[in-house]
Structure 1
Amino acid sequence: MLYKQRTAPKQLAGLQSLARRLAPTHEKYRIIQDELYKVRAGFGGEQEYDRCMKEVHTDFPHAILHDLSLQQNGVQFQIDSLFIAPDRIIITEVKNIADKILVKANPTQFLKESQTGTRNVFRSPIAEIDRKIHFLNNWLIAKNVNLPVTGLITFAHNNEILIEEPPQIPILTNYEAPAFFRELPIETLTLSKLDVKKLAYTLLEYHEEYDPFPLAARYGIHPNELKSGVLCQECPNEPASAREGNPRSCPRCGNSSRAPYEQAIEEYFMLVGKSLTNREFCEFTGLTCRHVAKRLLSSQLLHKDGTRKATNYTLAK
Structure 2
Amino acid sequence: MMKKAIQIPLKVESLEAALLRLSKNYVKRPRVEQELGKAKAGYFGEKSIDYYLKDFSSNHFHILHDLRLRIANDNFFQIDILINTPNCLLIIEVKNYVGSLYFDGNFKQLIREKNGVEEGMENPIPQVINQQRKLKKWLNINNLPSLPIIPLVVIANPTTIIKASSDYKEALEMVYLADNLPAKILSIQQTFNTRRKIIHDLDSFSDHLINCHEPKKVDILEQLKVPESAILTGVHCPNCSALPMERKKGSWYCPKCLFESKEAHIPSLKHYYLLLGKTITNQKLRNFLHLPSPYTASRILKSMNLKYTGSTKFRQYELHF
Normalising by structure 2, we get a TM-score of 0.88
Tell me the secondary structure at the aligned position of residue 189 of structure 1: coil
| Partner of residue 131, structure 2 | 132
Number of equivalent positions:
312
Pairing partner for 1:235 from 236, 240, 244: 240
Tell me the secondary structure at the aligned position of residue 309 of structure 1: coil
Counterpart CA distance in 2 for 1:179 and 1:244 is: 61
Tell me the secondary structure at the aligned position of residue 242 of structure 1: strand
| Partner of residue 201, structure 2 | 195
Counterpart CA distance in 2 for 1:93 and 1:301 is: 40
Tell me whether 202-211 or 85-94 shows the greater mean CA deviation: 202-211
Tell me the secondary structure at the aligned position of residue 246 of structure 2: coil
Q: 1:243 to 1:304 in 2, by over 3 A?
A: farther
Counterpart CA distance in 1 for 2:195 and 2:257 is: 62
Indicate if the aligned counterparts of 1:57 and 1:182 stay in contact, CA closer than 8 A: no
Indicate if the aligned counterparts of 1:56 and 1:182 stay in contact, CA closer than 8 A: no
Q: 1:253 to 1:97 in 2, by over 3 A?
A: farther
Structure 1 residues 45-72: Cα deviation after superposition (integer angstroms, max 9, x where no partner): 11110111112368x9332222222222
Counterpart CA distance in 1 for 2:217 and 2:92 is: 22
Are positions 1:304 and 2:308 aligned together? yes
Pairing partner for 2:288 from 264, 281, 284: 284
The structural deviation recorded for 1:161 is: 0.8
Indicate if the aligned counterparts of 1:96 and 1:157 stay in contact, CA closer than 8 A: yes
Tell me the secondary structure at the aligned position of residue 280 of structure 2: coil
The structural deviation recorded for 1:255 is: 4.7
| Partner of residue 175, structure 1 | 179
| Partner of residue 104, structure 1 | 104
Tell me whether 214-223 or 46-55 shows the greater mean CA deviation: 214-223
RMSD over aligned Cα atoms? 2.3
Indicate if the aligned counterparts of 1:230 and 1:260 stay in contact, CA closer than 8 A: yes
Counterpart CA distance in 1 for 2:137 and 2:257 is: 53
Pairing partner for 2:227 from 202, 214, 222: 222
Indicate if the aligned counterparts of 2:139 and 2:146 stay in contact, CA closer than 8 A: yes
| Partner of residue 52, structure 2 | 52
Indicate if the aligned counterparts of 1:229 and 1:239 stay in contact, CA closer than 8 A: yes
Tell me the secondary structure at the aligned position of residue 119 of structure 1: strand
Indicate if the aligned counterparts of 2:2 and 2:57 stay in contact, CA closer than 8 A: no
Q: 1:100 to 1:239 in 2, by over 3 A?
A: farther
Counterpart CA distance in 2 for 1:112 and 1:200 is: 36
The structural deviation recorded for 1:2 is: 2.6
Indicate if the aligned counterparts of 2:247 and 2:291 stay in contact, CA closer than 8 A: no
Counterpart CA distance in 1 for 2:38 and 2:56 is: 28
The structural deviation recorded for 1:155 is: 0.9
Counterpart CA distance in 1 for 2:196 and 2:60 is: 10
| Partner of residue 66, structure 1 | 65
Q: 1:209 to 1:177 in 2, by over 3 A?
A: same
Are positions 1:163 and 2:164 aligned together? yes
Counterpart CA distance in 2 for 1:5 and 1:251 is: 40
The structural deviation recorded for 1:254 is: 5.0
Indicate if the aligned counterparts of 2:278 and 2:320 stay in contact, CA closer than 8 A: no
The structural deviation recorded for 1:316 is: 5.0
Structure 1 residues 216-272: Cα deviation after superposition (integer angstroms, max 9, x where no partner): 2332222111111111234324322232622x3444455543312222222112101
Q: 1:22 to 1:301 in 2, by over 3 A?
A: farther
Q: 1:225 to 1:111 in 2, by over 3 A?
A: same
Q: Which amino acid in 2 is paired with 1:135?
A: K
Counterpart CA distance in 1 for 2:185 and 2:253 is: 51
Counterpart CA distance in 2 for 1:215 and 1:262 is: 20
The structural deviation recorded for 1:174 is: 1.2
Tell me the secondary structure at the aligned position of residue 233 of structure 2: coil
Tell me the secondary structure at the aligned position of residue 33 of structure 1: helix
The structural deviation recorded for 1:172 is: 0.7
Gaps in structure 2 of 5+ consecutive residues: none
Q: 1:73 to 1:305 in 2, by over 3 A?
A: same
The structural deviation recorded for 1:42 is: 0.9
